[in-house]
Amino acid sequence: AWAVGLGGTIVQTADGGKTWELQDSGTSTILMDVCFVDESHGWAVGMDGVIIHTVDGGKTWLAQESGAKHEFDAVRFVDERTGFIVGQESIFLRTVDGGKTWQKEILIDRDKWFYSLFMLDAKSGYACGKDGILVCLP
């Protein structure tokens, strides 16, 4: 399991939370969420449009660029290539190439804010957030 937070903090536990290992995220930006699809491939997102990715279980993290500078609050990948990000101003990002490129969409009014994301598969899921908003994706 992994957790993220202030100052670019990423920690990982292999023993159910008894001990935690600090990982070097390469950023000092607040991170809001982290998602791994297997033991090696993971993504973390946060403030100012930060997206970072690892292919070695968190030993190294590299930045990915979406072109958006929003606060990203949730990230979910369904496999190594297909992923989604939601956050500030109802932003919704989708990648089908492991985060090399991101397609930006605005789902609803910009004054809404998504905090959480649950994907059923690569084509459908739910985003929820500010004022009890729940959106069925796509």
Q: Mind listing the pLDDT tens digit for each residue in 101-113?
A: 999 976 676 677 8
Is 90 exceeded by the pLDDT of residue 98? yes
The pTM of this model reads 0.92
pLDDT reported for residue 17? 95
Residues in the chain, overall count: 138
The predicted pLDDT at position 34 comes to 98
* Cα–Cα distance measured from residue 78 to residue 43, given in angstroms and rounded to the nearest whole number: 12
Rounded mean pLDDT of 55-59? 95
Which residue segments constitute the domains of the chain, with CATH numbers given? 2-137 (2.130.10.10)
Average pLDDT over residues 127-137: 88
